[in-house]
Amino acid sequence: MPLNTVDVLVLGGGPGGYVASIRAAQLGLSVACVEMDKTLGGTCVNVGCIPSKALLQSSEHYEWLRLHAAEHGIRVDGASIDLPTMMARKREVVAQNTKGVEFLFRKNKIAWAKGFGTLKAGNVIEVRATDGSVATWNGRSVIVATGSVPIELPFLKFDERRVLSNVGALSIPEVPKHLIVVGGGVIGLELGSVWRRLGAKVTVVEYAPTILVGNDAELVREADKIFRKQGLDIHTGTKVTGADVREDGVTIHVENDGVTSSIEGDYVLVSVGRKPLLAGIDAAALRLTLGTRGEIAVDSQQRTNVPNVYAIGDVCGGKLLAHKAEEEGVVAAEVIAGKPVHMHHRTMPGIVYTWPEIATVGLTEEEVKKSGRGYRIGKFPFSANGRARTMGETQGFVKFVVDATTDEILGAHMIGPNVADLLAEVVLAMEYRGSAEDIGITVHSHPTLSETVKEAALAALGRAIHS
């Protein structure tokens, strides 16, 4: 059995693992990354961020053609869907990205140890390839980046035919007649929107009193209103109590306020959350400390309690986001290289790629209120923005929550056109503990959607110009 030794041995080639590998290589360390899938990129690139955004884009084009082209004086008669082509495009976009990561591995001289890795004591990973051969790798430091898997409901086990996880919901072979989505979080709303736009009736069943739990209440109310108007049939405060899965469909049994009923669909997407993936990691044998949700516990430098073993990304819990995994990967690589860096999550943005988009960073109004800190709100609607009017995209608003005395930005909550990209300037401002005034006195090009951000910042100071 060959023994290969490197400075940094990374377990998992998703956004956490592959970015950590690249950063470590940039810092002059020798690196190997263990990945069991046929392609690099992990959940995000293969069955998450990238394919979902490809389908969101395609379905948005279709919806725009059907509902909005005529307003612009464009007549599109008989627009229809070619689902195989849409799916082929999605696969091609995914392939461009997985090949891109492979290219970056070659460029940075990162060894891809292909196969299933089992972490052993002493920084050793045994890698079993699909042909059964086993290679042993040793790292002076190990970074665990094994990601997460979707949570199943006991009576709705994924078969990826009728009962779908994100994997199946990204590849349904036909437009469903009725897709039931269990879970009104980001994944449920994004994938539900895709299939609704393509013509499915979509029913969202959410146990909590609202969709998008944990977000700013005003933002959630606006999103709920818009999604219902678009045609999503949303049932909040509704518990799924059982299900009958048949060859040709699914019946979901639900309970709302003591009243029971059933919903018939041809497919069900179960998107009730994800849990850390510890396949190949015997935490007890390794004496690796886990948190209450089975996540690997780390400090602000991504160190676990086991010397020279780090963990990053979804497997550490917190917000399950690709950019969080990436940043944690950079921190782990830099700490290993001896740099004095720390991870902080205060300015971690979160996006929902529905249309309109939703983008948030920092504290919600409710969180600030609860903390007892004095605060002010600055809000500006896209309906008062010139660029939004030219685009015919006037739904939504930008909202700032700022400190009452210093006007430091504590949080920003946006729903509207392209807010996923508009959020970046606020994240940057918050990174430097910027204030609403910093954004308010910064020149923003005219006419741009970004003027809505400036105006909302000015509104927090009581001096928005256009409202």
Q: So which residues are the catalytic ones?
A: 446
Would you say 329 and 143 are in contact if contact means Cβ atoms under 8 Å apart?
Answer: yes
Taking the complex as a whole, the smallest distance from the CB of residue 309 to ligand FAD amounts, in Å, to 14
Q: Is 13 in the site for ligand FAD (CB under 6 A)?
A: yes
User: Which of 23, 24, 94, 117 forms a contact with ligand FAD (CB under 6 A)?
Assistant: 117
Q: Is 295 in the site for ligand FAD (CB under 6 A)?
A: no
Amino acid, single-letter form, for residue 157: K
User: Which of 21, 25, 35, 413 forms a contact with ligand FAD (CB under 6 A)?
Assistant: 35
Q: How far apart are alpha carbons 437 and 37 in whole angstroms?
A: 48
Q: How far apart are alpha carbons 33 and 105 in whole angstroms?
A: 9
Place of tokens 């961020």: 49
Taking the complex as a whole, the smallest distance from the CB of residue 51 to ligand FAD amounts, in Å, to 8
3-state secondary structure of 140: strand
Q: Is 322 in the site for ligand FAD (CB under 6 A)?
A: yes
Q: Is 180 in the site for ligand FAD (CB under 6 A)?
A: no
Query: Tokens in use for 50?
Result: 């990238």
Taking the complex as a whole, the smallest distance from the CB of residue 254 to ligand FAD amounts, in Å, to 23
User: Which of 321, 401, 412, 458 forms a contact with ligand FAD (CB under 6 A)?
Assistant: 321
CA distances from 100 to 41, 104, 105, 423 (A): 9, 6, 9, 26
Would you say 202 and 179 are in contact if contact means Cβ atoms under 8 Å apart?
Answer: yes
Complex with ligand FAD: residue 126 or 438, whichever CB lies closer? 126
Would you say 401 and 421 are in contact if contact means Cβ atoms under 8 Å apart?
Answer: no
User: Which of 16, 265, 381, 416 forms a contact with ligand FAD (CB under 6 A)?
Assistant: 16
Complex with ligand FAD: residue 417 or 440, whichever CB lies closer? 417
Place of tokens 């990945």: 35
3-state secondary structure of 40: coil
DSSP-derived letter for residue 405 is T
Would you say 81 and 161 are in contact if contact means Cβ atoms under 8 Å apart?
Answer: no
Taking the complex as a whole, the smallest distance from the CB of residue 332 to ligand FAD amounts, in Å, to 11
Query: Tokens in use for 369?
Result: 């209120």
User: Interaction with ligand FAD in 336-355: which residues (CB under 6 A)?
Assistant: 353
User: Interaction with ligand FAD in 140-179: which residues (CB under 6 A)?
Assistant: 145-148, 166
User: Which of 156, 187, 204, 459 forms a contact with ligand FAD (CB under 6 A)?
Assistant: 187
Tell me, residue by residue from 216 to 245, as one string, x for binding to ligand FAD by CB under 6 A and - for no binding: ------------------------------
Within 13 Å and on the Cβ side, how many CA atoms surround 94? 25
Binding site for ligand FAD (CB under 6 A): 11-17, 34-37, 42-44, 48-49, 52, 116-117, 145-148, 166, 187, 277, 279-280, 313-315, 320-323, 325, 353
